[in-house]
């Protein structure tokens, strides 16, 4: 493998934040069944879809009974603004504490979300709320979806190559429950009501000259798949966000991910067999199975992803960062071992990072 770059940044800490209202999957299913009632042509189909998504528990920003009343999108988005700030502050505060840093150390802030919009953006509101340094370089993003956490992680690492004395924050906040469409009986919406959860994740990365230990980011790679923008995303109207989710997503992953990962790793003289830890976003059972088949790895090698899916559902952009936290806190690999962080999302696109623990 190529020698470690002297300016390589490191991941100093990671922390997630979940909202307070936690439910088992059947509680959410029962509430949805009561809410939709006769509008469900086949109520049993909703139960089957929820049973297949591999989720046991989810945390939501509102009490379950509040979801049965459809609100205008403006009111829903205002709720997203309030709750996103709460989750973001909690995640960032926890990540700072784990790295033993305070807000004065932050030089750059990469924020991503795909479940609400506002201007000024959430990161700007945190500047005031948390009294972050006025010189912080802010880079908010919208529309990246499930790939957002990995994309911001890669961009922050790239930034730190040229700013080795800086500390960068990656902050992903998703409140998927506020995007539920009460009059959408499509299979995509029924699946999403069983799969996606609410939560936030924050990662602190430091430049090479900052004396904080952590896994080193050796390389990053972005991959865009031309003419695939219709396979995943939102249709946005006066009603808010309506999910677009093609059943062809797993096949696209299965046929593309192996060559893309191999080409990325080859640039660092690394093979898939050299990877000890796989940090892959919790896209759902069909996505995780497609990744495993494409990468020729076992379910056990993706255990952290399956556990996060079961414990909190798919947190969209925050999901891969939640998997990273589980590995850092509960499954920390041996020093010197290699890991691959990967996520895929709307575009259709992928982001990969090679790390050394």
Q: What is the share, in percent, of the chain residues with pLDDT greater than 70?
A: 98
Catalytic positions are: 146
> Each residue of 225-268: pLDDT tens digit?
988 777 777 777 787 777 777 778 888 898 999 999 999 999 99
Residue 310 has pLDDT above 50, yes or no: yes
Compute the average pLDDT of residues 313-318. Answer: 95
Domains of the chain (ranges, CATH numbers): 10-206 (3.40.47.10), 216-356 (3.40.47.10)
Please compute, for residue 221, the number of CA atoms within 13 A of its CA located in the half-sphere on the CB side. Answer: 21
Residue 271 has pLDDT above 50, yes or no: yes
Supply the pLDDT for residue 6. Answer: 57
> What's the predicted TM-score (pTM) here?
0.93
Compute the average pLDDT of residues 336-340. Answer: 95
């Amino acid at each position: 493998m190529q020698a470690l770059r002297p300016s390589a940044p490191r991941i100093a800490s990671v922390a997630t934040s979940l909202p307070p209202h936690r439910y088992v999957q059947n509680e959410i299913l029962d509430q949805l069944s009561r809410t939709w009632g006769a509008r469900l042509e086949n109520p049993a189909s909703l139960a089957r879809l929820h049973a297949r998504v591999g989720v046991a528990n989810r945390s939501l920003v509102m009490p379950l009974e509040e979801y049965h009343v459809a609100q205008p999108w403006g009111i829903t988005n205002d709720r997203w603004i309030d709750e996103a700030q709460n989750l973001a502050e909690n995640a960032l505060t926890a990540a700072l504490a784990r790295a033993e840093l305070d807000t004065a150390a932050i030089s750059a802030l990469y924020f991503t979300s795909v479940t609400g919009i506002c201007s000024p953006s959430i990161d700007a509101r945190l500047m005031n709320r948390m009294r972050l340094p006025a010189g912080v370089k802010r880079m908010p993003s919208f529309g990246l979806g499930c790939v957002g956490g990995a994309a911001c992680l890669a961009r922050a690492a790239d930034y730190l190559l040229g700013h080795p004395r800086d500390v960068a924050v990656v902050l992903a906040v998703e409140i998927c429950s506020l995007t539920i469409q009460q009059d959408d009986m499509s299979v995509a919406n029924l699946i999403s009501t069983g799969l996606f959860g609410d939560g936030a994740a924050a990662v602190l990365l430091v430049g090479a000259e900052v004396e904080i230990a952590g896994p080193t980011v050796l390389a990053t790679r972005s991959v865009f798949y031309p003419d695939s923008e219709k396979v995943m995303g939102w249709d946005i109207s006066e009603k808010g966000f309506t999910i677009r989710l093609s059943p062809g997503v797993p096949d696209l992953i299965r046929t593309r991910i192996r060559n893309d990962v191999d080409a990325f790793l080859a640039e660092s003289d690394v093979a898939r067999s050299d990877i000890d830890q796989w940090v892959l976003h919790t896209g759902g059972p069909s996505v995780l199975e497609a990744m495993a088949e494409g990468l020729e790895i076992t379910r056990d090698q993706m255990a952290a992803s399956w556990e996060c899916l079961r414990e909190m559902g798919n947190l969209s952009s925050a999901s891969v960062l939640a998997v990273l936290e589980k590995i850092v806190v509960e499954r920390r690999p041996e020093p010197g071992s290699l890991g691959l962080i990967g996520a895929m999302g709307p575009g259709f696109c992928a982001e990969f990072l090679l790390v050394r623990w």
